[in-house]
Protein backbone atom coordinates (compact mmCIF):
# COMPACT_ATOMS: atom_id res chain seq x y z
CA UNK A 1 0.00 0.00 0.00
CA UNK A 2 1.29 3.53 -0.78
CA UNK A 3 2.72 5.69 1.96
CA UNK A 4 1.68 9.32 2.44
CA UNK A 5 4.12 12.17 3.09
CA UNK A 6 3.80 11.54 6.84
CA UNK A 7 4.45 7.83 6.41
CA UNK A 8 0.83 6.78 6.92
CA UNK A 9 -0.04 3.63 4.94
CA UNK A 10 -2.98 4.76 2.81
CA UNK A 11 -5.79 2.24 2.50
CA UNK A 12 -4.69 0.31 5.57
CA UNK A 13 -7.75 -0.53 7.71
CA UNK A 14 -7.55 0.75 11.26
CA UNK A 15 -7.05 -2.02 13.77
CA UNK A 16 -10.49 -2.78 15.18
CA UNK A 17 -9.16 -3.13 18.72
CA UNK A 18 -7.40 0.28 18.57
CA UNK A 19 -8.67 2.73 21.16
CA UNK A 20 -10.61 5.56 19.49
CA UNK A 21 -11.56 8.68 21.43
CA UNK A 22 -14.55 10.53 19.99
CA UNK A 23 -14.61 14.05 21.42
CA UNK A 24 -18.18 15.33 21.57
CA UNK A 25 -19.55 11.78 21.70
CA UNK A 26 -22.93 12.84 23.08
CA UNK A 27 -23.66 15.33 20.29
CA UNK A 28 -25.24 14.90 16.88
CA UNK A 29 -21.99 14.10 15.06
CA UNK A 30 -20.09 12.38 17.85
CA UNK A 31 -22.89 9.96 18.69
CA UNK A 32 -23.19 9.00 15.02
CA UNK A 33 -19.44 8.40 14.79
CA UNK A 34 -19.58 6.19 17.89
CA UNK A 35 -22.49 4.19 16.43
CA UNK A 36 -20.72 3.70 13.12
CA UNK A 37 -17.39 2.68 14.63
CA UNK A 38 -19.01 0.10 16.89
CA UNK A 39 -21.06 -1.25 13.98
CA UNK A 40 -17.82 -1.50 11.98
CA UNK A 41 -16.28 -3.74 14.65
CA UNK A 42 -14.31 -1.30 16.81
CA UNK A 43 -14.22 -2.69 20.34
CA UNK A 44 -12.62 0.19 22.28
CA UNK A 45 -14.48 3.41 21.49
CA UNK A 46 -14.18 6.03 24.22
CA UNK A 47 -16.43 9.02 24.78
CA UNK A 48 -16.79 11.53 27.56
CA UNK A 49 -19.42 14.11 28.49
CA UNK A 50 -18.51 17.73 29.11
CA UNK A 51 -19.65 17.37 32.72
CA UNK A 52 -16.87 14.79 33.18
CA UNK A 53 -14.11 16.48 31.16
CA UNK A 54 -14.44 20.09 30.04
CA UNK A 55 -12.44 20.22 26.81
CA UNK A 56 -12.18 24.00 27.19
CA UNK A 57 -9.90 23.26 30.16
CA UNK A 58 -6.39 22.54 28.91
CA UNK A 59 -5.24 20.70 32.05
CA UNK A 60 -8.35 18.51 32.21
CA UNK A 61 -8.05 17.64 28.53
CA UNK A 62 -4.36 16.79 28.86
CA UNK A 63 -4.98 14.56 31.89
CA UNK A 64 -7.78 12.69 30.15
CA UNK A 65 -5.78 11.89 27.02
CA UNK A 66 -2.72 11.00 29.07
CA UNK A 67 -4.81 8.52 31.04
CA UNK A 68 -6.76 7.02 28.11
CA UNK A 69 -3.93 7.00 25.51
CA UNK A 70 -6.08 6.63 22.39
CA UNK A 71 -4.49 5.62 19.08
CA UNK A 72 -7.08 7.65 17.16
CA UNK A 73 -8.98 10.85 17.99
CA UNK A 74 -12.05 12.17 16.17
CA UNK A 75 -12.74 15.77 17.15
CA UNK A 76 -16.51 16.21 16.88
CA UNK A 77 -16.65 18.52 19.90
CA UNK A 78 -17.82 22.08 19.29
CA UNK A 79 -20.17 24.82 20.33
CA UNK A 80 -22.64 24.90 17.44
CA UNK A 81 -25.87 26.65 16.55
CA UNK A 82 -27.89 28.35 13.84
CA UNK A 83 -27.94 31.94 12.62
CA UNK A 84 -29.67 33.33 15.72
CA UNK A 85 -27.30 31.67 18.20
CA UNK A 86 -24.17 32.63 16.24
CA UNK A 87 -25.29 36.23 15.87
CA UNK A 88 -26.21 36.57 19.56
CA UNK A 89 -23.11 34.93 21.10
CA UNK A 90 -20.05 35.36 18.84
CA UNK A 91 -17.65 35.52 21.80
CA UNK A 92 -18.68 32.08 23.06
CA UNK A 93 -18.63 30.58 19.55
CA UNK A 94 -15.14 31.95 18.94
CA UNK A 95 -13.50 31.31 22.30
CA UNK A 96 -15.05 27.94 23.15
CA UNK A 97 -14.19 26.42 19.77
CA UNK A 98 -10.67 27.83 19.77
CA UNK A 99 -10.03 26.38 23.22
CA UNK A 100 -11.53 22.97 22.48
CA UNK A 101 -9.47 22.52 19.33
CA UNK A 102 -6.19 23.83 20.70
CA UNK A 103 -6.50 21.75 23.88
CA UNK A 104 -7.30 18.56 21.96
CA UNK A 105 -4.45 19.02 19.48
CA UNK A 106 -1.93 19.78 22.23
CA UNK A 107 -3.09 16.87 24.39
CA UNK A 108 -3.18 14.47 21.44
CA UNK A 109 0.38 15.38 20.54
CA UNK A 110 1.56 14.90 24.13
CA UNK A 111 -0.21 11.50 24.21
CA UNK A 112 1.38 10.53 20.86
CA UNK A 113 -1.95 10.01 19.06
CA UNK A 114 -1.23 8.40 15.71
CA UNK A 115 -4.31 9.52 13.75
CA UNK A 116 -6.57 12.50 14.37
CA UNK A 117 -9.52 13.79 12.38
CA UNK A 118 -10.71 17.33 13.09
CA UNK A 119 -14.22 18.09 11.87
CA UNK A 120 -14.94 21.64 10.82
CA UNK A 121 -17.80 23.18 8.86
CA UNK A 122 -18.59 24.41 5.37
CA UNK A 123 -19.08 27.89 6.86
CA UNK A 124 -15.27 28.31 6.74
CA UNK A 125 -15.59 29.26 3.08
CA UNK A 126 -16.20 32.80 1.75
CA UNK A 127 -19.80 33.96 1.57
CA UNK A 128 -19.61 34.42 -2.20
CA UNK A 129 -17.31 31.54 -3.05
CA UNK A 130 -17.68 30.06 -6.52
CA UNK A 131 -20.18 27.18 -6.49
CA UNK A 132 -19.73 24.32 -5.92
CA UNK A 133 -17.14 25.29 -3.32
CA UNK A 134 -13.71 23.74 -3.75
CA UNK A 135 -11.33 23.28 -0.84
CA UNK A 136 -8.92 25.82 -2.33
CA UNK A 137 -11.58 28.54 -1.90
CA UNK A 138 -10.53 28.81 1.75
CA UNK A 139 -9.35 32.31 2.71
CA UNK A 140 -10.08 33.79 -0.73
CA UNK A 141 -12.89 36.14 0.37
CA UNK A 142 -15.03 37.58 3.15
CA UNK A 143 -16.99 35.26 5.42
CA UNK A 144 -20.73 35.23 6.07
CA UNK A 145 -21.03 37.80 8.93
CA UNK A 146 -23.77 35.91 10.80
CA UNK A 147 -21.36 33.09 11.72
CA UNK A 148 -17.91 34.55 11.12
CA UNK A 149 -16.72 33.99 14.70
CA UNK A 150 -17.46 30.25 14.49
CA UNK A 151 -15.89 30.09 11.02
CA UNK A 152 -12.68 31.77 12.17
CA UNK A 153 -12.38 29.28 15.03
CA UNK A 154 -12.78 26.36 12.63
CA UNK A 155 -10.21 27.85 10.23
CA UNK A 156 -7.82 28.05 13.18
CA UNK A 157 -8.46 24.35 13.80
CA UNK A 158 -7.45 23.52 10.24
CA UNK A 159 -4.28 25.54 10.70
CA UNK A 160 -3.61 23.70 13.96
CA UNK A 161 -3.75 20.34 12.16
CA UNK A 162 -1.54 21.63 9.36
CA UNK A 163 0.94 23.07 11.84
CA UNK A 164 1.31 19.79 13.72
CA UNK A 165 1.82 18.02 10.41
CA UNK A 166 4.57 20.45 9.35
CA UNK A 167 6.40 20.70 12.64
CA UNK A 168 6.01 17.18 14.02
CA UNK A 169 5.04 15.03 11.03
CA UNK A 170 1.70 14.04 12.49
CA UNK A 171 -0.62 12.06 10.19
CA UNK A 172 -3.57 14.24 11.19
CA UNK A 173 -6.33 15.44 8.87
CA UNK A 174 -9.35 17.75 8.76
CA UNK A 175 -12.71 17.43 7.03
CA UNK A 176 -15.39 20.03 6.34
CA UNK A 177 -18.95 18.63 6.41
CA UNK A 178 -21.88 20.40 4.81
CA UNK A 179 -25.13 21.03 6.75
CA UNK A 180 -25.89 18.00 8.90
CA UNK A 181 -29.06 16.50 10.32
CA UNK A 182 -30.28 13.24 11.82
CA UNK A 183 -30.98 11.50 15.14
CA UNK A 184 -29.51 13.37 18.08
CA UNK A 185 -30.05 16.77 16.50
CA UNK A 186 -30.90 19.93 18.46
CA UNK A 187 -34.52 20.98 17.94
CA UNK A 188 -34.45 24.06 20.17
CA UNK A 189 -35.74 26.97 18.06
CA UNK A 190 -33.32 29.41 19.68
CA UNK A 191 -30.13 27.47 18.94
CA UNK A 192 -30.88 24.90 16.23
CA UNK A 193 -29.88 24.82 12.57
CA UNK A 194 -32.41 25.27 9.78
CA UNK A 195 -33.61 21.70 9.20
CA UNK A 196 -34.33 20.67 12.83
CA UNK A 197 -35.84 24.12 13.41
CA UNK A 198 -38.23 23.55 10.51
CA UNK A 199 -39.16 20.10 11.83
CA UNK A 200 -39.96 21.59 15.24
CA UNK A 201 -41.94 24.51 13.77
CA UNK A 202 -44.06 22.45 11.42
CA UNK A 203 -44.67 19.73 13.99
CA UNK A 204 -45.78 22.26 16.62
CA UNK A 205 -48.06 23.98 14.10
CA UNK A 206 -49.66 20.70 13.07
CA UNK A 207 -50.29 19.68 16.69
CA UNK A 208 -51.70 23.10 17.58
CA UNK A 209 -53.77 23.37 14.40
CA UNK A 210 -52.09 26.63 13.39
CA UNK A 211 -53.01 27.84 9.89
CA UNK A 212 -49.54 29.20 9.04
CA UNK A 213 -45.86 28.61 9.73
CA UNK A 214 -43.37 31.47 9.41
CA UNK A 215 -39.94 30.70 7.95
CA UNK A 216 -37.02 33.11 8.21
CA UNK A 217 -35.80 34.85 5.05
CA UNK A 218 -36.98 34.69 1.47
CA UNK A 219 -36.79 30.93 0.96
CA UNK A 220 -34.42 31.39 -1.99
CA UNK A 221 -31.03 30.43 -0.45
CA UNK A 222 -29.89 26.96 -1.44
CA UNK A 223 -28.46 24.48 1.05
CA UNK A 224 -26.94 21.02 0.93
CA UNK A 225 -27.89 18.47 3.61
CA UNK A 226 -25.96 15.38 4.66
CA UNK A 227 -27.37 12.77 7.03
CA UNK A 228 -25.11 12.44 10.05
CA UNK A 229 -24.84 8.65 9.64
CA UNK A 230 -23.37 9.25 6.17
CA UNK A 231 -20.87 11.67 7.72
CA UNK A 232 -19.87 9.02 10.26
CA UNK A 233 -19.24 6.58 7.42
CA UNK A 234 -17.11 9.20 5.65
CA UNK A 235 -15.07 9.79 8.81
CA UNK A 236 -13.92 6.17 8.97
CA UNK A 237 -13.23 6.13 5.23
CA UNK A 238 -11.05 9.24 5.54
CA UNK A 239 -9.14 7.89 8.53
CA UNK A 240 -8.22 4.86 6.43
CA UNK A 241 -7.75 6.47 3.00
CA UNK A 242 -6.78 10.13 3.36
CA UNK A 243 -3.61 11.84 4.56
CA UNK A 244 -3.10 15.36 3.27
CA UNK A 245 -2.69 18.78 4.89
CA UNK A 246 -5.60 20.26 2.90
CA UNK A 247 -9.07 19.98 4.42
CA UNK A 248 -11.45 17.76 2.47
CA UNK A 249 -15.14 18.45 1.85
CA UNK A 250 -17.83 15.99 2.93
CA UNK A 251 -21.25 16.39 1.34
CA UNK A 252 -23.73 15.01 -1.16
CA UNK A 253 -22.98 17.28 -4.12
CA UNK A 254 -26.60 18.48 -4.46
CA UNK A 255 -28.56 21.32 -2.85
CA UNK A 256 -32.16 22.52 -2.51
CA UNK A 257 -33.80 25.93 -2.02
CA UNK A 258 -34.97 26.53 1.54
CA UNK A 259 -38.52 26.94 0.19
CA UNK A 260 -38.40 23.40 -1.25
CA UNK A 261 -36.97 22.11 2.01
CA UNK A 262 -39.76 23.77 3.97
CA UNK A 263 -42.37 22.17 1.70
CA UNK A 264 -40.74 18.76 2.11
CA UNK A 265 -40.71 19.13 5.91
CA UNK A 266 -44.37 20.21 5.87
CA UNK A 267 -45.35 17.09 3.90
CA UNK A 268 -43.24 14.86 6.12
CA UNK A 269 -44.87 16.03 9.36
CA UNK A 270 -48.35 16.35 7.85
CA UNK A 271 -48.75 20.14 8.06
CA UNK A 272 -51.32 21.34 5.51
CA UNK A 273 -51.41 25.08 6.22
CA UNK A 274 -49.68 28.04 4.58
CA UNK A 275 -45.93 28.73 4.67
CA UNK A 276 -45.14 32.44 5.20
CA UNK A 277 -41.66 33.91 4.63
CA UNK A 278 -40.42 36.67 6.95
CA UNK A 279 -38.20 38.67 4.61
CA UNK A 280 -37.09 40.97 7.44
CA UNK A 281 -35.00 38.08 8.75
CA UNK A 282 -31.53 37.28 7.33
CA UNK A 283 -31.05 34.70 4.60
CA UNK A 284 -27.41 34.02 5.37
CA UNK A 285 -25.16 32.83 2.56
CA UNK A 286 -27.07 32.74 -0.77
CA UNK A 287 -25.78 29.31 -1.70
CA UNK A 288 -23.48 26.79 -0.05
CA UNK A 289 -22.83 23.68 -2.14
CA UNK A 290 -19.61 21.75 -1.65
CA UNK A 291 -17.45 20.30 -4.39
CA UNK A 292 -17.01 16.71 -3.17
CA UNK A 293 -15.00 15.40 -6.11
CA UNK A 294 -11.88 14.77 -4.02
CA UNK A 295 -13.84 12.64 -1.55
CA UNK A 296 -15.59 10.74 -4.34
CA UNK A 297 -12.19 10.05 -5.91
CA UNK A 298 -11.29 8.23 -2.68
CA UNK A 299 -14.20 5.86 -3.26
CA UNK A 300 -16.86 7.23 -0.89
CA UNK A 301 -20.42 8.40 -1.61
CA UNK A 302 -23.46 9.02 0.64
CA UNK A 303 -26.27 6.48 0.74
CA UNK A 304 -29.15 8.29 2.53
CA UNK A 305 -31.39 10.54 0.43
CA UNK A 306 -32.92 13.71 1.87
CA UNK A 307 -36.55 12.50 1.88
CA UNK A 308 -35.55 9.19 3.50
CA UNK A 309 -33.27 10.87 6.03
CA UNK A 310 -35.85 13.52 6.91
CA UNK A 311 -38.52 10.89 7.52
CA UNK A 312 -36.26 8.87 9.84
CA UNK A 313 -35.18 12.03 11.67
CA UNK A 314 -38.81 13.00 12.25
CA UNK A 315 -39.54 9.52 13.60
CA UNK A 316 -36.63 9.93 16.03
CA UNK A 317 -37.97 13.35 17.05
CA UNK A 318 -41.40 11.86 17.77
CA UNK A 319 -39.85 9.08 19.84
CA UNK A 320 -37.97 11.64 21.92
CA UNK A 321 -41.14 13.69 22.39
CA UNK A 322 -43.02 10.60 23.60
CA UNK A 323 -40.20 9.56 25.93
CA UNK A 324 -40.07 13.00 27.57
CA UNK A 325 -43.75 12.98 28.54
Residue pLDDT, tens place only, 39-76: 999 999 999 988 899 999 999 999 999 999 999 999 99
Rounded-to-integer distance, Cα 307 and Cα 304, Å: 9
| Boundaries of every domain in the chain | 20-181+225-253+289-304
286 pLDDT band, cuts 50/70/90, is: confident
Contact assessment for residue 168 and residue 109, using Cβ atoms and an 8 Å cutoff = yes
Rounded-to-integer distance, Cα 270 and Cα 313, Å: 14
Residue 300 is assigned to a ligand binding site: no
**In a 3-state reduction of DSSP, which class is residue 134?**
coil
Cα–chain center distance at 165: 22
pLDDT surpasses 90 at 190: no
Nearest one of 221, 220, 219, 214 to 200, comparing CA atoms: 214
| pLDDT attached to residue 229 | 98
Residue 236 is assigned to a ligand binding site: no
Residue 122 is assigned to a ligand binding site: yes
Q: Tell me the mean pLDDT in the region 287-298.
A: 96
| pLDDT attached to residue 29 | 96
Q: Rounded to 5 degrees, what angle do the CA atoms 230, 247, 22 make?
A: 55
Got the DSSP string for 74-93?
A: EE-------HHHHHH-HHHH
3 pLDDT band, cuts 50/70/90, is: confident
Residue 140 is assigned to a ligand binding site: no
pLDDT in tens, 221-272: 999 999 999 999 999 999 999 999 999 999 999 999 999 999 999 999 999 9
189 φ/ψ angles, rounded to the nearest 5 degrees: -65, -20
Q: Which of 125, 150, 242, 314 is catalytic?
A: 150
Cα–chain center distance at 181: 9
CATH code: domain 20-181+225-253+289-304 is: 3.40.50.720
| pLDDT attached to residue 146 | 86
Nearest one of 86, 250, 247 to 155, comparing CA atoms: 247
pLDDT in tens, 105-164: 999 999 999 999 999 999 999 999 999 999 999 999 999 888 899 999 999 999 999 999
Report pTM: 0.94
287 pLDDT band, cuts 50/70/90, is: confident
Residue 25 is assigned to a ligand binding site: yes
Per the annotation, the verdict on 242 as an active-site residue is: no
Give the ranges where the chain is alpha helix by DSSP (H). 28-39, 58-68, 83-88, 90-110, 148-168, 194-208, 228-241, 258-269, 293-297, 306-323
Contact assessment for residue 25 and residue 254, using Cβ atoms and an 8 Å cutoff = no
Interstrand relation of 256-257 and 179-181 (parallel, antiparallel or unpaired):
unpaired
**In a 3-state reduction of DSSP, which class is residue 175?**
strand
Amino acid sequence: MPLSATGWELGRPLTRDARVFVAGSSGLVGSAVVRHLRAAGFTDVVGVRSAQVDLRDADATARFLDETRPAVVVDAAARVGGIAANAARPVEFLHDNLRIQANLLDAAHAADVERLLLLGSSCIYPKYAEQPIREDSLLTGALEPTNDAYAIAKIAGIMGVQSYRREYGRAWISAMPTNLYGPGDNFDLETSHVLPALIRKFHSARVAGDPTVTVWGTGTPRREFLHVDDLASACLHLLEHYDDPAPINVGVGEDVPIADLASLVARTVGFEGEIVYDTSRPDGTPRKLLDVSRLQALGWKPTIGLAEGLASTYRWFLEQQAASR
